A = this chain, B = another copy of it.
Amino acid sequence: MVTIYDIAKATGVSAPTVSKALNGIGTMTEATRNKILETAKQLGYEPNMSARTLTTKKSHLIGVVYDDTGMSRGFGHPLFSVLLNRFREQIEQAGYDIIFLSRHFGMSYFAHSKFRSIDGLIIITPDNDCPYEEFLPFVDHKVPCVSTNTIIKGICTVITENESGGYKAAEYFIKKGHTKIAFLSGPRNNISFAAEERLKGFKKAFSDYGLSFDENLFEECDFWHVNAGYEAFKRLYSRTKDFTAIFACSDLMAYGVMQFAEENGISLPDDLSIIGFDDDSISEFSKPHLTTFRHDAVKIADMAAEMLFQQLTDIPVPEIIRFPAEFIERDSVKLIK
């Protein structure tokens, strides 16, 4: 391993001067700087980030909380995977690297982030059983931090406009002549409010159109995935068959409904209209092609990165930024009289 001392010796200057030349700071003659830079290249010098981090306390490392338990999709999640991908690109363009934060060996996310001297973090999706309190130390210690799914007091969140999404789903059904519309909720907990927000908008549309939502048509899934949708729909369907449409809070859950429907001779969209959420890559290829909502994942990721960079340079950021989901109209909703 070649160090700045090797370069110093080879060029006949001191280590600090080499350091300054390499970092493009300080003052020195062009000749000195050039000679140092050239020698560095010749010798195949690579900076040692551990040493730099130790002295500067800056690691150029961004921690990522991505523990997609209970989603059953891991890195394949239609929203989170794109978020991660795009966020990573932005981060790397800015000269940072990404490291996953985990909670192993009784270490908290915070402890892990100190351990690795991270400069900032993004919370994409935490452990299912991760308590809200895990994130408070980041707020207390003013660690630059953004979140894209979980709303945490004191942390800048960039997230989809769930409420308007729920509203549009209900409105679309209503305009297609439906009035008996079921709501298949995702699990509600104190970490993610997506299901709640979509329900709120959903109900608002009902009242705006002079309708009232039948609470008997509400059913909640244990998880956000296919099987949970299947089971929840089964519960709903065995309780009542008096509905012509259903809004599923995720495409994955919608596939669960479609699976149950296929097995039980319920024809889509003739017997039952359906709208999902997420625009999973599957939706374009399923039969019927699923009408759904697409998160603006690229915008969310870009904005999250920007908000993080702002904090890294001590610029204050807003508490929450929302981007509307795009309505993707396909073939899973029937027009009725």
CB contacts under 8 Å to B, within A139-165, are none
Are A84 and B75 in contact, with the CB atoms below 8 A? yes
Q: A255 and B285 in contact (CB under 8 A), knowing A48-B117, A50-B117, A97-B116?
A: yes
Does A287 sit at the interface, judged by CB under 8 A? yes
Contact of A49 among B105, B116, B255, B285 (CB under 8 A): B116
Q: A interface, how many residues as a size bin? A: 35 or more
Are B104 and A92 in contact, with the CB atoms below 8 A? yes
Nearest Cβ on chain B to A112's Cβ, whole angstroms: 8
How far apart are the CA atoms of A18 and B282 in the complex, in Å?
Answer: 55
How far apart are the CA atoms of A84 and B81 in the complex, in Å?
Answer: 12
Cβ of A85: which chain B residues have Cβ within 8 Å of it?
Answer: 68, 74-75
How far apart are the CA atoms of A51 and B100 in the complex, in Å?
Answer: 20
Does A76 sit at the interface, judged by CB under 8 A? yes
Does A166 sit at the interface, judged by CB under 8 A? no
Cβ of A61: which chain B residues have Cβ within 8 Å of it?
Answer: 99
Does A281 sit at the interface, judged by CB under 8 A? yes
Contact of A105 among B48, B95, B100 (CB under 8 A): B95
CB contacts under 8 Å to B, within A60-75, are 61, 68, 73-75
How far apart are the CA atoms of A172 and B255 in the complex, in Å?
Answer: 29
Instruction: Name 5 interchain pairs, CB-CB below 8 A, sorted by A.
Output: A46-B111, A47-B115, A49-B50, A98-B99, A98-B100
List 19 additional contacts besides A50-B50, A50-B51, A50-B117; criterion CB under 8 Å.
A46-B111, A46-B114, A47-B115, A50-B53, A50-B59, A54-B54, A74-B81, A74-B84, A75-B75, A75-B76, A88-B100, A92-B102, A92-B104, A93-B104, A95-B105, A97-B102, A98-B100, A281-B282, A282-B285
Residues of A within 8 A of B (CB): 1, 46-51, 53-54, 59, 61, 68, 73-78, 81-82, 84-85, 88, 92-93, 95, 97-100, 102, 104-105, 111, 114-117, 255, 258, 281-282, 285-287
